[in-house]
Structure 1
């Protein structure tokens, strides 16, 4: 008996792994893939490769067509999108299978992610079949941002974090409002990009109202982000500093892309990527502060 007790102490029985860890890793992978996919989609658009594959879901009727640089961009964008869709289905299956051992909020959140990725797939097909119609392209971008935000909500809630001290009771609402305003500004930017409003306005005074609305939208988006930074400065200074850096980078990229009239694709892609990172950071800030508020209650 004594020998058995020593063996048990030296080699304790294996415990069942926490399913939340596997779910968190999968959600983190999806966040990274989605962020890269949005940047890849922006590059495809600014390079004029959006209709390089004129049919859908195949490309020139083939799974693997002849790939020149433009066809490759569009084809590769589709492959990554399909991977994201399949992984989202896998995420929902995993969450449903382990639902009794996972937080109750995770099932509806995974279902929302699946619904968004299905809508995104339909919009992706329509962008091709409807020849890059501006409203569909903008909806495609907006749905991608909502999907990205949904994943970030799940990832933040699944990640253990220490208690936040000295948090203002206004921080959750300021950060949430900031995320909504920045999201609206991204949609305005999508309208500008999908209609090539900057080029048309500079060339012939067409669509200048679309361009001007986006320029005016910089003001509330900046003020909302600065307010979030101010309220988060003491309790969550690293995140507040990250937000400040992203805001300054986004303003600088916006000025550069406007001044250069979208002639440098890398700047345009970076502008969208930093905008997505800014939105994501505000979402994370809102979720962290809301979680702390309800934890204290």
Structure 2
């Protein structure tokens, strides 16, 4: 039974990853209204018309439905056969976040929502993925969170601050997409050929996100340097910090590529999805570090 639970946990994490990536595609392709203002039907049908936008939107809905059923099965088995409280918390949080984002997605179709609310939809998907990833890790050697050495209090503060701040940066990125502001800054690293452009409209939104992303890179770099200072290369804290730094570096690069691909629709969609995927992986590592700090050995 343990192997089945592990397989379902892995499928849940993979499924949440697909939902997040497909959600980013829906936004980038402006396919959110691909099924009109109907839910769960698509233009009054269970099988929609063969248009690109309806196919993208309906595929996203279908994957959400399948993953939700997998989550329900995983939820039952974890509470029935797994004794670890953290596993029960992770699956519960995943199910709750998935249901909330599904409800928000349905409401966004039936009743138009503001960009502020729509951006939160991606944030909830990110949290659902992070919790599902942590659940999958529970059944691996990386899920043995209990430590034999104490974690410095200052390092704990840095980890949690960075994780929370990264969520804010991700939200700003989602807000850029939902307000269709990506073209506010042409060129990278300069914005419209200026170091500090006129901070209004789409330009102000994009430039704010760029500055926030730069500060996030600095935070994770500092986190990694502190991990190297206090812990050995074999320590999970050192490993997680290293990969968070690698991924935030790739995030910055992919953000630049997204800007450079403006004007090429196919390249813009592809690079936008890659950017969202890298962000999800980075946030997952930061959440993993947060969980490690909760299992600190007491002095």
TM-score, normalised to structure 2, is 0.81
Runs of 5+ consecutive residues of structure 1 not aligned to the other structure: 1-16
Q: Retained in 1: the 8 A contact 2:9–2:132? A: yes
Is 2:32 the counterpart of 1:31? no
Q: Retained in 1: the 8 A contact 2:16–2:132? A: no
SS of structure 1 residue aligned to 2:33: coil
Q: Tell me which residue corresponds to 1:92.
A: 75
Is 2:160 the counterpart of 1:176? yes
Distance (whole Å) between structure 2 residues aligned to residue 190 and residue 48 of structure 1: 13
Q: Structure 2 vs 1, CA of residues 96 and 164 (structure 1 numbering), >3 Å: closer, same or farther?
A: closer
Q: Retained in 1: the 8 A contact 2:217–2:249? A: no
Distance (whole Å) between structure 2 residues aligned to residue 262 and residue 45 of structure 1: 17
Is 2:83 the counterpart of 1:102? yes
Query: Bigger shift: 152-161 or 138-147?
Result: 152-161
Q: Structure 2 vs 1, CA of residues 111 and 168 (structure 1 numbering), >3 Å: closer, same or farther?
A: closer
Is 2:286 the counterpart of 1:282? yes
Q: Tell me which residue corresponds to 2:209.
A: 214
Is 2:125 the counterpart of 1:144? yes
Matches within 5 A, 1:243-262: 243-261=244-262
Query: Bigger shift: 205-214 or 268-277?
Result: 205-214
By how many angstroms is 1:134 displaced? Answer: 1.4
By how many angstroms is 1:51 displaced? Answer: 1.1
Distance (whole Å) between structure 2 residues aligned to residue 286 and residue 53 of structure 1: 39
Q: Tell me which residue corresponds to 1:267.
A: 271
SS of structure 2 residue aligned to 1:226: helix
Pair member with larger Rg: 1
Matches within 5 A, 1:1-297: 17=1, 19=2, 21-54=3-36, 55-98=38-81, 101-131=82-112, 133-161=114-142, 168-169=151-152, 170-199=154-183, 205-233=200-228, 234=232, 235-236=235-236, 237-261=238-262, 263=264, 264-291=268-295, 293-294=296-297
Runs of 5+ consecutive residues of structure 2 not aligned to the other structure: 187-191, 193-197
TM-score, normalised to structure 1, is 0.82
Q: Tell me which residue corresponds to 1:13.
A: none
How well do the aligned residues superpose, as a CA RMSD in angstroms? 2.7
